[in-house]
Amino acid sequence: MSKVFITSALPYANGPIHLGHLRSTYVPADIYARYNRMNDCDVLFVCATDEHGTPIAVRAEATGKSPKEIADEYHKIIKDDLDSCNISFDYFSRTTDPVHYELSQKFFLKLYKKGYIYEKMIKQPYCHECERFLPDRYVEGTCPYCKGEARGDHCEVCGRHLEPTQIEEPACLICNSSPEIKESKHYFFKLSHFQEYVGEWINENKELPPNVRNYALQWIKDGLKDWILTRDMEWGIPVPLEDAEGKVLYVWVDALIGYLSSAMLWSRKENKPWKDYWNDRAIHFIGKDIIYHHSIFWPAMLKGYGCKPPSNIVAGEYLSLEGKKMSTSKNWVIWASEFLEKFDSDILRYYLIVNAPLTRDTDFSWNDFQRRVNDELADVLGNFLHRTFSFTGRFFNSEIPEPAEFDDYDKEFEDRIAEIPEIVSGFIEQFKFREGLIEIIRLAKFANKYFNDKEPWKAVKEKPDEAANCLYLCNQLAKTFSVILTPYIPVKAPQIMEIMNLHGFETSKWESAAEFIPAGNKINKAKPLFSKIDDSVIEKEKEALYKNLKDDDEMKDIISIEDFAKIDLRIGEVINADRVEGSDNLLKLRVNVEEKKLQIVAGLAKKYSPEELKGKKVVVLVNLKPAKLFGIKSEGMILATSDNLSVLSADNAKIGEKIK
């Protein structure tokens, strides 16, 4: 029996699962795993929560919990989310498992001993107040390219990757003081050494989908740079070398190894070896944002360690929501748990797959979701199944009728039933899950037309043979659907089998899809499988979505009348001003208010150029909760400038002074 090792990207344990995750990664991987299991392939489908890295450490500090507590909390939430969408992992572990620590350290040591890891002193921001280095998100400041808000290794506005020393006006996330640049010893992976190997692997691997191949080839063309493997922080897997105290593995290094440690944990539990699975065929399902890590860095690490590269990488593109980019900070998102409280997981799986090919960005819209469910699942597929079963019940004593001689129309239908399993499997094997589903719906449409044309409700009295042929064939298609829909809709498909009295559906095989059931088989009472969604339900969901949106561009309603007495107004001086990309009115200011420097986004660009504002005195409302405008943190509000408030232009106006 052939084996396959299937993984889906490790969800990061600081937030729940949303529909975008399900669409790009988890549902496609699950369809593929289920399909392979039905095809006599021995499947090992693993995943884990990714629990290291600065976002979790930062969240822990902000909430007074330990990073492990944050990870514990989200591991459970994420696992429940994925379970409720019926993602059929064989093992779902955690990167805080001791087995994972052991394997990650072993991986590092082996690469180190083979000479693929070297030490280098590099410049890192260091906070004197906090007495520590500030890795990744621990430092905030300005992006040198777009002047947007930079958080550690990443610009929130233009999305560029940044070196920590590139950040302008850096500030410690914890205490807001400005860090100094200090030397620190770090460990680098000789990725450049693997340039040729990875390039060849990508060029020769004809199975790689075009989106993965094209991104990867571009990086190869640009030349691979060595990768820093370590961070100066406590939360993470310690670097297993004597003189590396205080250093941990970078979260991306251990996250990838998480695929293997999860398999090891499965192997210990099941008492079966896992390596054969990897060596036979290994397929990663990921989102497109992490193609680099999987197509470049991971094959090189594996080569260095002495392991085969993965066989394939399938990268799902993004899902937007009602035409706008999803944003968890703006609450412009649909969480899996909230969705699945109200709707069946199968209709969600159906919609996320049928909506667009995996290799294309697409949009979730409530109206389109309703249309697809009502028109395709209820009216086409559901209607076909229901009329087949209820007609068989009413006119054929709940038995599949004995067929007579087929006419050409029957024969055409019979051929199409016989062909559909192979058509769908052809698509699934090429990861074209949507195309397979569309063929199924197309055949269901044809079947409804056939049913209408054959008019069995009339024929049953006048030409009983024709009615028998019609219902014989419709039942055969229902049975075929129950098998080939299983990977897509694993709850509803077995319900079709139950109605048809087919036992052993838990272990149904793909090859059985084309086998016809003998006439005379009894079926159970029909029950509707897919119901329509009411307009009122959709309207309610849309209303809730817009109501929950935290629209950052709206500053009104921030201060209530009661709060007015508590406001703290200070005199400040603009040190720096920059335009905010994408807005014709917003400027990003750095304002000195004596004891602290605030970053404020203000709608002043129509009145002032950035140059004109520099050095101007302003009245600042300082005790506002930090908000975000255009993705940029804003820590106060400018209420007046020296041009419209004479007190500010007076020589004795003192920076930091409180205004009554």
Under rule CB under 5 A, residue 596 binds Zn ion: no
Strands (E), 85-241: 91-94, 117-127, 132-133, 139-142, 149-151, 154-155, 168-172, 180-189, 227-228, 230-232
Rounded Cα–Cα distance for residues 577 and 602 (Å): 10
Binding Zn ion (rule: CB under 5 A), the pick from 127, 300, 302, 353 is: 127
Is 296 in contact with 267 (CB distance < 8 Å)?
Answer: no
**For Zn ion, the closer CB: 130 or 517:** 130
Please identify which residue in 29, 146, 428, 513 interacts with Zn ion, judged by CB under 5 A: 146
| Stretch touching Zn ion by CB under 5 A, among 169-177, 384-392, 504-512, 596-604 | 169-177
List beta partners, residue 577.
589
Any contact of residue 326 with Zn ion (CB under 5 A)? no
614 and 575 in contact (C-beta within 8 Å)? Answer: yes
Smallest separation (angstroms) from Zn ion to the CB of 128: 8
Let me know how many helices (H) and strands (E) the chain has, helices first. Answer: 23, 25
The residue whose two tokens read 């899902």 is 319
Q: Which of residues 364-383 bind Zn ion (CB under 5 A)?
A: none
Q: Is 143 in the site for Zn ion (CB under 5 A)?
A: yes
Judged by beta carbon, residue 381 or residue 580, the one nearer Zn ion is 580
Residues contacting residue 272 through CB under 8 Å, at least 6 positions apart: none
Q: Where are the alpha helices (DSSP H) in 17-133?
A: 19-21, 27-38, 54-63, 67-84, 98-113
Q: Look at strands 227-228 and 42-49 and give their pairing.
A: unpaired
Query: SS3 for 190?
Result: coil
> Considering only residues 109, 145, 182, 311, which one is a binding residue for Zn ion as defined by CB under 5 A?
145
Of the candidate spans 64-72, 147-155, 237-245, 431-439, the one that interacts with Zn ion by CB under 5 A turns out to be 147-155
Q: Is 180 in the site for Zn ion (CB under 5 A)?
A: no
CA distance 79 to 94: 10
Using the contact rule CB under 5 A, the part of the chain among 136-144, 463-471, 620-628, 634-642 near Zn ion is 136-144
Residue 435, both tokens? 């195309």
Q: Which of residues 426-455 bind Zn ion (CB under 5 A)?
A: none
- Please pick, from the candidates 62, 175, 558, 650, the single residue that binds Zn ion as defined by CB under 5 A: 175
Nearer to Zn ion, 127 or 248 (CB): 127
Q: How far is the CB of 153 from Zn ion (least distance, A)?
A: 12
- Rounded to whole angstroms, the Cα distance separating 67 from 70 reads 5
CB of 381 to Zn ion, least distance (A): 47
Q: Rounded CA gap, 45 and 47, in Å?
A: 7
Q: How many CB atoms lie within 10 A of CB 566?
A: 8
| Position 233 contacts Zn ion (CB under 5 A) | no
Among 109, 174, 549, 655, binds Zn ion (CB under 5 A): 174
Residue 130 interacting with Zn ion (CB under 5 A): yes
Report the Cα 427 to chain-centroid distance in Å.
23
Nearer to Zn ion, 158 or 575 (CB): 158
> Considering only residues 55, 148, 287, 421, which one is a binding residue for Zn ion as defined by CB under 5 A?
148
Among the listed residues 155, 377, 380, 385, the single contact to Zn ion using CB under 5 A:
155
What's the rounded Cα separation, in Å, for the pair 377 and 373? 5
Residue 147 CB, nearest approach to Zn ion (Å) = 7
CB 179, min distance to Zn ion, A: 7
Instruction: List contacts with Zn ion (CB under 5 A).
Output: 127, 129-130, 143, 145-146, 148, 155, 157-158, 172, 174-175
